[in-house]
Chains A and B, each alone.
Chain A
Amino acid sequence: MLGFAPLQLVPQDSLLSNPILSLLLFYVPFFIFLLYGQRFQTMLILNEISRSVKKLQGMKERSRKEAIDYLTATVGQSPEITNRIDQFLEYFTIMPVDIDPSGVMQKLEHIVTLRDERIRAEVKKIAPAVDPVRTSAIENMIEVATSLNYIYKIVRHFYLLGDRTKSIYVLVQLQMIMPLILQEADALIGAIDAFRQVQPMGDGIGPMIIGKMMLGKEKKSVARDTVYSEAIMNGRTLYLLKAEGPGGNVGQPGTAIQKMIEETKIELNTIVMIDAALKLEGEKSGDIAEGIGAAIGGIGVDRFKIEAVATKHNIPLYAIVIKQSIVEAISVMKKEIADSAEKVHALLNRIIEEKTKEGDKVLIVGVGNSLGVGQ
């Protein structure tokens, strides 16, 4: 019969066989971690978040400095500039109450338009004789600085709250979303370079495609910073709509489409919208996709208006999107995104050919920021 040898992890003559030593090396740390483990974890998380908060603070200060420097270079040295920019950084917008959702879109539009007009008026006051392109660059840079200031303050608030209460639950939530916040902040910093140098951004691919089709044609203003042209293609009348460039404008495509249909009485048969869309992980930048619906982002006012008017007049809505990441959308346009313009033109021609007939009126909208894109 085979004898059973017990499993011996620690040799008899080992240091760990000493009961006092094993108490110090095993039981004491075990109980320390059992009782204070969460405290250690909290300290580590606080340390990690603190580094991210410092990074955000640096970004916020850089965006403020860039806006002040750009304004100083444009309008000359003035102590007023710094004060005005600092006032802008604290500027806030109170969104309308949505407990009773009836009419919330009109209220939202009113508030957002008011905010845009207020920023525009303030910029005009600081830089009255500046051309529209640089005025829009100033507006956009101030918006970036305001956004980064807001992000920094919110993150700092939760960091300090977590530090004060030592609540791991507050801190863990902040730690989990911190990579996304930093990515968003990094994208905003990237946008500053594009705004300063008036270079097209990834989001400008829609206006770039339509701008090419508008070349040499009369441009009519239809809404704030929004222009359209008419063209004839294979017996169809095309209405080409985009935000006015090369300034950093997104225009008011919702209002423009509503006006064209209901005020100018253009009897549209089809609407095709071209826009940048956020790609999913694994998708390639510059890939294009075709679909149905109003391809437009933002706060929702423009999409609401377009959907409402298209439904009322029974106009089919087709969409073409160009895939890109959030960083690419608000940074200088990448080559693979610029290269997708040819493929989009081919797809657009196919949609017009297949979905419309001769004599039809087709509205093609290039949605996005027209920064660095003329027409």
Chain B
Amino acid sequence: MAAPIPMATSEKRMKLPVFTVDECLNCHMKNKRAFKMGDYVFAAGNPCQSCKGNTMIIAIFAEQPPRR
């Protein structure tokens, strides 16, 4: 990681839910689901919900749940 200058933040780490995004290799439909052990980016994902085709994991990220 490149560090231009030392920095200081008062940022606190929060435990956020982690999601996996599968993209269908046929219809390119994206599906966001909860992360499960064994998932990694560019691995095979769950079958497509639309065309039952093969999917690939294109992203795994932590996201702040929407505020109610």
The interface of chain A, by Cβ under 8 A from chain B, is 179-180, 183, 186-187, 189-190, 193, 197-200, 203, 208, 211-212, 215, 245-246, 275-281, 295-298, 319, 321, 325-327, 329, 331-335, 337-338, 341, 367-368, 372-375
Contact = CB atoms under 8 A, between A and B. Distances in A.
Interface of B: 1-5, 7-13, 15-16, 18, 35, 37-43, 58-63
Contact of A186 (B2, B13, B42, B59): B13
A211 B42 contact: yes
A180 B8 contact: yes
A333 B60 contact: yes
A297 B1 contact: yes
Nearest to A180: B8
Contacts of B18: 197, 199, 332
A229 B2 CA distance: 24
Contacts of B12: 186, 327
6 contacts: A276-B1, A280-B7, A298-B1, A325-B11, A327-B11, A338-B60
Main secondary structure of the interface of A (DSSP, over half): mixed
Nearest to A321: B2
B23 to A, nearest CB: 11
Contact of B62 (A211, A215, A319, A331): A331
Contacts of A211: 41-42
Closest 10 CB pairs of A and B: A374-B42, A246-B40, A338-B61, A297-B1, A332-B62, A277-B2, A335-B63, A335-B61, A190-B13, A373-B41
A152 to B, nearest CB: 18
Nearest to A190: B13
